[in-house]
Amino acid sequence: MEQKIIQSVDKLSDILQEVECRKLFLVVDSSFPFLNIKDTIESLEVEKVFFSDFTPNPLYEDVCKGINLLKSEQCDAILAVGGGSAIDVAKCIKLAVLAQEGNQAIIPPLVNTRVACDGSKLPIIAIPTTAGTGSESTHNAVMYYEGAKQTVTNDGILPDIAILEPSVLKTLPLYQKKCTMLDALCQGIESWWSVNSTEESYEYSRKAIELIMANWQKYIFDNDAEAAANIMLGANYGGRAINITATTAAHAFSYKITSLYKLPHGHAVAAGLPEIWEYMLGHMDKCLDTRGEAYLIDIFSQIAAAMGCSTPVKAIAKFREMLSDMEIYNPVAINREEEINILSHSVNPIRLKNNPIALDDSAIQLIYEIILN
pLDDT of residue 217: 98
For 153-165, give one letter per residue: b (16+ CB within 10 A) or e. Answer: bbebbbbbbbbbb
CB 159 within 8 A of CB 127: no
Distance CA 354, CA 246 (A): 7
User: Mean pLDDT, the chain, as a whole number?
Assistant: 94
237, 187 Cβ separation under 8 angstroms: no
DSSP, collapsed to helix, strand or coil, labels residue 228 as: helix
Please list, residue by residue across 57-79, b when 16 or more beta carbons sit within 10 angstroms of its beta carbon and e when fewer do.
ebbbebbeebbebbeeeebbbbb
Does 55 score more than 70 pLDDT? yes
Q: Are 312 and 300 in contact (CB under 8 A)?
A: yes
**Alpha-carbon span 159 to 125, nearest angstrom:** 6
What pLDDT sits at residue 187? Answer: 97
Is a pLDDT exceeding 90 seen at residue 101? Answer: yes
Cα–Cα distance for residue pair 123/140, rounded to 1 Å: 16
Q: Range with the lowest mean pLDDT among 192-206, 246-260, 283-297?
A: 246-260
Q: How many CB atoms lie within 10 A of CB 318?
A: 15
Q: Please, are residues 219 and 177 in contact by the beta-carbon 8 Å criterion?
A: yes
- For residues 84 and 299, the model is more confident at 299
Query: 4-168: which CATH topology?
Result: Rossmann fold (3.40.50)
Tens-digit pLDDT profile for residues 319-373? 999 999 999 999 999 999 999 999 999 998 877 999 999 999 999 999 999 999 8
The yes-or-no verdict on residue 128 having pLDDT over 90 is: yes
- The alpha carbon of residue 189 and the mean position of all alpha carbons in its chain are separated, in whole angstroms, by 13
* 112 has pLDDT over 80: no
pLDDT of 108 above 70: yes
pLDDT digits (tens, 9 = 90+) for 216-227: 999 999 999 999
Residues 256/274, Cβ–Cβ less than 8 Å: no
The model's confidence at residue 195, banded by pLDDT at 50, 70 and 90, is very high
Percent of the chain with pLDDT strictly greater than 90:
88
In CATH terms, is domain 173-371 a member of 1.10.1060.10? no
Spatial separation of the C-alpha atoms in residues 90 and 87, rounded to whole Å: 5
Res 67: pLDDT = 97
Percent of the chain with pLDDT over 70: 100
Provide the angle, in degrees to the nearest 10, between the axes of the packed helices 199-217 and 174-193. 150
Question: What is the pLDDT at residue 82?
Answer: 94
In the chain, what are the domain boundaries? 4-168, 173-371
CA distance 337 to 41: 51
Query: What is the phi/psi pair of residue 101, to 5°?
Result: -80, -10
- Give residue 150's pLDDT band: very low, low, confident or very high (50, 70, 90): confident
Q: Lowest-pLDDT range, 106-110, 206-210, 284-288?
A: 106-110
Residues 6+ apart with CB under 8 A from 102: 96
Distance of CA 314 to the CA centre of its chain: 26
Cα angle value 85/87/88 (rounded, 5°):
60
**Beta carbons of 269 and 186 less than 8 angstroms apart:** yes
Residue 57 confidence (pLDDT): 86
Q: How far, in Å, are 159, 209, 214, 302 from residue 308 at the CA level? A: 33, 10, 9, 10
Mean pLDDT on 131-138: 92
Using 50, 70 and 90 to split pLDDT, how confident is the model at 1? low
pLDDT in tens, 12-47: 999 999 999 999 999 999 999 999 999 999 999 999
With b for 16 or more beta-carbon neighbours within 10 A and e for fewer, the 274-294 pattern comes to bbbbbbbbeeeeebebeeeee
